[in-house]
Amino acid sequence: MADQLSNYQCPNCGGPLRFDPAVQKLKCDYCESTFTQEEVDQFYRAKEEAAAQVGTDQQWETETGQWSGEEASHMRAYSCPSCGAELIADENTAVTVCPYCNNPTVVAGQFKAKKPQFVLPFQLDKKEAVSILNNFYKGKPLLPRAFKSQNHIEEIKGVYVPFWLYNGVMDADLIFRAERIQQYTHGDNIVTETSHYQIVRRGTVAFSGVPADASTKMPDEYMDAIEPFDYSKLKDFDTMYMAGYMADSYDVDAETDRARAEKRMRQTAESQLSSTVVGYTSVVPVRSDIRMIDCAAAYAFLPVWVLCTKWNGKNYLFAVNGQSGKIVGDMPTDKALFLQYFLITALVLFLIGAVILYFMGGGFL
Amino acid sequence: MRLTKLLIALAAAVLASVLFLKPADIHAATAYVMDESGTLTSEQVASLNSLAEEISLRQKCGVYVIITSDMHGYSESSFARGIFMNYDLGYDEGNRDGASGVLLAISEGDRYYDSVAYGAAKDTFSSYNLDRLNDLVLDYLYNGDWYGAAEGFIRKCDDILTDSGYQYYVPTYTDPAINPTTVTTSPAQRREIFLSRLPFVGVIAALLSLLITWVVSLQNTNIGIATEAMKYLVKNGVKLTSTQDIFINKTRTTTRIHRDSGGGGSSGSSHSYHSSGFSSSSGGRHF
């Protein structure tokens, strides 16, 4: 079995290194040594390049004995560079953790074939992500109490999610019908004058960094909801940032994903140009011709903490923006609490309404 | 749960309190003297009514005596004023703002009476004069002479109006208008109206509560597909290359204003400012 993987091991003790968001350096959990990127690069460059060379040659072995042809075509088998264990992962796995020695392992070949331009390093650690989730439960009166009290996070993963960041210019040509109504009194008459206009707005609207996640494993509604990310903290891609986290390469290419970003840009371009039509009583759009005239996509890894819980046999997923801490999720609603909340609110509103009705009616007591 | 029980108890208490008393009917004024309790004979009522009508039209000030069977839900202090407004009393010349009159209101069941004046009559029937009128009728009522009380009141009012040189006019009121519901209905009627509308309040409360609860339940999920890209607009990235507002045509419609010709009579030659409409006696009495 060819060795096509690389990982970061501590130059001092050989323990696994992970990227520590607090110090923005690689840290060994065993001897607590920290290393800068340059130090690690210098130490491991030769090792990584050797592994990458094997990876780009596509010399990994595929286990075909027990998998169907279709399944096998999406699976890859690797050997852990630390302990030699055989790792099975899907074809897009870029960074994983060896279940035997717990070493974060980078499939360097993935980055050679689909190299990201940028990476946004994690700013939040696992403890902060869990704390954010616990705070998320607060102030939600219809959340089942058992979900809060008995809930245990089954899995928490720091994941670098592949995104396409689109820069683009939308060329818009909009036509509206508008009316301006003036009313005045002339003698014994009220005169209403309605002026009719055709409004033309043409122009360009430029966008930068409209994100669209490029992994089919990540639900789009979660990844859209955890925006925004602060791109000023983007770094040129380096595998150092991957240490300790999971990552998959993209499996949705830039051309396919573009439709999502373009739809958003189109909507915003239309609203921007429409907002310049002012001073009319009514405005009705007649024609909207918007097209993208310039588009470029950058491939980037953005940090997301993914937390999974199970309650009443159902899985619940939460995603935390690894930079800003914004959390999104879909939680259950307790039907009994819903009914109780409804009744209490209805009673309070009824009493308020009765008091208002009493005083509006002039009172009688 | 304790809060729920408390709220249910409160709602039940409100309902019970408004259901407790039976509403009573009130009739609009059709005469100067009315006897709802059946104390006077019809001949006596007719006689008093013609006397009061003659004086009222001559003086341009309504003089009224109303005998009710109960207080119509009013407190003693608001009894006479409430009856005056609810029976739509007062002499006027087409403008209800100019209603002027004086009333003796007697509750036969409660053995209580009081007098009140409204409008231009307020200037003439001061608290002092109203107290004098109350003193006058007390002896009659004490002796069970209801006819004498009414007749004495009407005639004394005529004397006071003549002696004071009363002139009819439309006062200008400086206080806010009296709540029309309070003016045209008795407390018992208002209770009836309140009860009839309460189910609608319940339905509206339930619908609003459902909406609020649904919105609160939405807090449990905050995922969704993004539809716009405002956050990713490049600074000064909106460039307009063409802005045209082309005038096409103008349409004009003319609507004739409907003006109410009015037709109300003259409101009188003199004006005086009243804070409200009433002057009251220093207090009604039991007999």
pLDDT single digits (tens) B102-147: 999 999 988 999 999 998 898 899 999 999 999 999 989 888 899 9
| Helices within chain A (DSSP H only) | 37-56, 69-73, 108-113, 126-137, 145-149, 220-225, 254-274, 335-360
User: Any idea what the CATH number is for the domain that residue B84 is in?
Assistant: 3.10.310.50
A246-248/A93-97 β-pairing: antiparallel
pLDDT confidence of residue B157: 94
Please give the single-letter amino acid code of residue B215. V
**Is the predicted pLDDT of residue B241 greater than 50, yes or no?**
yes
**Is the predicted pLDDT of residue A48 greater than 60, yes or no?**
no
Asked, for residue B263, whether it belongs to a domain, the answer is no
Give the DSSP H or E segment for A163. strand A153-186
As for the ipTM of the complex, it is: 0.74
Asked, for residue B67, whether it belongs to a domain, the answer is yes
B222-231: buried (b, 16+ CB within 10 Å) or exposed (e) per residue? bbeebebbee
Give the one of B3, B193, B229 whose C-beta lies nearest to A344's C-beta.
B3
Whether residues A191 and B252 touch (CB distance < 8 A) is answered with: yes
Residues A26 and A48: their CA atoms lie apart, in Å, by 16
Q: Which residues contact B273 (CB under 8 A, 6 or more apart)?
A: B171, B172, B173, B174
Asked, for residue B126, whether it belongs to a domain, the answer is yes
**Is the predicted pLDDT of residue A7 greater than 70, yes or no?**
no
Whether residues B190 and A261 touch (CB distance < 8 A) is answered with: no
Give the one of A193, A201, A354 whose C-beta lies nearest to B252's C-beta.
A193
Give the one of B185, B238, B248 whose C-beta lies nearest to A198's C-beta.
B248
Looking at per-residue pLDDT, the higher value among B271 and A83 belongs to A83
pLDDT confidence of residue B176: 59
What percent of chain B has a predicted confidence (pLDDT) above 70?
79
pLDDT category at B25 given cuts 50, 70, 90 is very low
**Is the predicted pLDDT of residue B184 greater than 70, yes or no?**
no
Whether residues A142 and B255 touch (CB distance < 8 A) is answered with: no
Residue of B nearest to A266 (CA): B228
Residues B46 and B221: their CA atoms lie apart, in Å, by 77
pLDDT confidence of residue A359: 86
Name every chain B residue with its beta carbon within 8 A of the beta carbon of A186: 254
Asked, for residue B50, whether it belongs to a domain, the answer is yes
Asked, for residue B144, whether it belongs to a domain, the answer is yes
Name every chain A residue with its beta carbon within 8 A of the beta carbon of B205: 346-347, 349-350, 353
Pick the range with the lowest mean pLDDT from A53-57, A107-111, A129-133, A223-227. Answer: A53-57
User: What total number of domains does chain B contain?
Assistant: 1
- Give A195→chain B minimum CA distance, Å: 4
Name every chain A residue with its beta carbon within 8 A of the beta carbon of B178: none
Whether residues B242 and A340 touch (CB distance < 8 A) is answered with: no
Burial class (CB in 10 A: 0-12, 13-18, 19+), A165: buried
| DSSP reduced 3-state for A334 | coil
Asked, for residue B34, whether it belongs to a domain, the answer is yes
Please give the single-letter amino acid code of residue B262. G
Asked, for residue B39, whether it belongs to a domain, the answer is yes
pLDDT confidence of residue A213: 93
Whether residues A330 and B223 touch (CB distance < 8 A) is answered with: yes
| DSSP reduced 3-state for B266 | coil
- Interface residue of B245, B257, B260 to substitute, partner A, most A CBs within 10 Å: B245
pLDDT confidence of residue A69: 61
Asked, for residue B260, whether it belongs to a domain, the answer is no
What pLDDT digit, counting tens, does each position of A141-189 carry?
A: 898 888 877 666 777 889 999 999 999 999 999 999 999 999 998 888 8
Which domain, by its residues, includes B105? Answer: 26-190+269-286
**Mean pLDDT, chain A, whole residue set:** 83
